Amino acid sequence: MNGEVADFSLPNVGTGPDPFSLASLPEEVAFVVLFLQRDHHCTNCRKQVQSIAARIDEFHDRDAEVVSIVPEPVDRVEEWQSRYDLPYPLLADPDATVGEAYDQPVRFGVLGDLSDFLGRMPEVVIVDRRSDPPRTASVHRGRSTFDRPEIDELLAELDTLRESG
């Protein structure tokens, strides 16, 4: 997928600019890896943000910034930051506007639309900021709560993108 990128501005309870937008990142950040989470209660999401935190230097070594977006109000997202002390931007998106803009999958039709807990699936988007305008370089849309790319897969994808110039 090589589409245009939807920019956004959301409250950031983690490190980095607040409010956060793609444009607010330093120029040397070539890639942004957006992790669109399911919701505040998702244990797989919580494990994922901790795993990413443990390997954040590997993303930074590839000129990439990680951004985790939770479709919840600021106070709930702040609970994650208080508990896990994540070393990257952690954004609150209570209206799920970014998930909608990036076509984050929602299962179970109308029922899934009514409840993020039932319907919203994880998604990972790699944004390539080296072009003007930035472009979507890669997307993984989860089909279940467990369907997430491994960190090694994402790092390999970043390596491939860096080599392709």
pTM of the model: 0.90
The yes-or-no verdict on residue 31 having pLDDT over 50 is yes
Phi, psi of 125 (to 5 degrees): -125, 130
Other C-beta atoms lying within 10 Å of the C-beta of residue 159: 11
pLDDT greater than 80 at residue 157? yes
Direct distance between the N- and C-terminal alpha carbons of the chain, in angstroms, rounded to an integer: 16
Mean pLDDT of 87-106: 92
Q: In the CATH hierarchy, which fold is given to the domain comprising 22-142? A: Glutaredoxin (3.40.30)
pLDDT of residue 119: 66
Residue 24 has pLDDT above 60, yes or no: yes
